A and B are shown apart, each in its own frame.
Chain A
């Protein structure tokens, strides 16, 4: 019997996943840049923190102070999310001995992250490799009981923490250790615009892929479940939006790839005075009077058959 599923916190996505993720497993969140991977991962962690779970965000791409600032634009309180700063130091090219990073870095709450970026010590930079990260996470998990974790991103680990010759073996080892921890884990992966599957796709128990493209009227977003072991799931491309509240997935709205035209009509664009200004990532930031009416409708994505603007 499979335990109760873990909710991602995004209602429409949970529906697509037939209730959520199977607990204790490792999943990928993939997509090109700016598709919303970090936002999705953070929403997943917040969902756990709100239920009183202990959850951890492992920062590899962006320093924690920037992540916290970025999430503020959604009005989210991520203060109770634990964070581990896994961003590497500035390299000093002198021949000074490198210190073991595990003596330097501790897991902390996001609320305790300093406003400024952590500065590389003048004495010697700390050495951060995929192996040290792996061991530190294993140690931390042994000491405290976490239920959710997000690694953001595996792509940075691959590019900046591993020598090219050892790339695949180190990554497989890292993912294997993560899987064995028995924690529901989301690992973000950045894809090039034209991509082919990589090792991580085979190891993960599931993959949520985020898409975006231009349909001639504006930016369209969608989400697919590429794989989900041990559970039935939605196999269609579904409409996704990034709003001031975060990610919204509409499983009732199937899409045709490339066109962005929804088969059903989405809700009409908000009246000018209700439209958010300068808050949500991915939303057009200018006030609606600055966008021609038909374009504004294009963002909302109604199909031409549903009365959308004829070009």
Chain B
């Protein structure tokens, strides 16, 4: 018996994943800037909305209005994706104001309603601090009110940089992912390319990693995708070519990638 799989909204990627993602587990989407991580995530959410599911986008890197602009440029109707604006507010730098509970300040709106970036009352109040811990508290509130099936956090790299103490990040991150799993939500965590000399906890506590690659050669960008890990499922172990067009991301799981790109990829996989 095969498990029910959750489509990523990208047909070729589903094929590479042996049918799609295993629901209610956390996954990582990694890659350097401009590889298409946010776009892949939005496509994943859009697929859910199309199926009548509720989908939530946690925006940390970019304000919601910009994300809306960007995906609108592709002609997508993403109005039903719910968005949690966790974009860091402008800092007040005034003296000794007590911290404001961030959960009380943030609100979820649909991507459709995302207006121009909200001005912070930085002059009057302290700006709320965003951390892994406060995000869990925010999500707890939101997930209690609304039953989501898909969630994207864009990006964990920024979230970690915003969280102050490194010591607590590992445990609070583990707790956040556990919380999401217990809520039965399938989650994509967007991160930068992991440092090969470091063991990033998000890589080993998640159940899979989809990695996006790009390379500029002869005035053209070559893109490809690899499944670095996928627990409990068969998956394609080959890098496959990926294209970004006005229809979004598409992946051809039958094609091979250009040799030069392959050589570059090989430089990333070190033999211990």
Chain A residues within CB distance 8 Å of chain B? 32-34, 38, 61-63, 66, 69-70, 73, 87-91, 93, 117, 119-120, 153, 155-156, 159-160, 163-164, 190-195, 209, 211-214, 216, 218-219, 257-258, 276-286, 290-292, 295, 299
Contact = CB atoms under 8 A, between A and B. Distances in A.
B52 interface: no
B262 interface: yes
A241 to B, nearest CB: 12
A277 B175 CA distance: 35
Interface residues of B, number: 58
A73 B199 contact: no
A279 B209 CA distance: 18
A291 B205 CA distance: 31
A212 B235 CA distance: 15
Interface string B226-268: 0011111111111100000000000001101000001101101
A229 B102 CA distance: 55
Interface stretch (B14-22, B38-46, B76-84, B152-160): B14-22
B133 A87 contact: no
Interface in B82-135: 133
A117 B24 contact: yes
A91 B270 contact: no
Interface stretch (B56-64, B67-75, B178-186): B178-186
Contacts of B199: 155, 190-192
Contacts of B2: 278
Interface string B11-42: 00001111100101100000000000000000
A163 B167 contact: yes
A284 B170 CA distance: 33
B163 interface: no
15 contacts: A33-B204, A33-B229, A62-B207, A88-B178, A90-B179, A91-B175, A193-B197, A193-B272, A212-B269, A213-B266, A213-B269, A279-B234, A281-B235, A285-B234, A286-B15
Most buried by A among B198, B230, B265, B272: B272
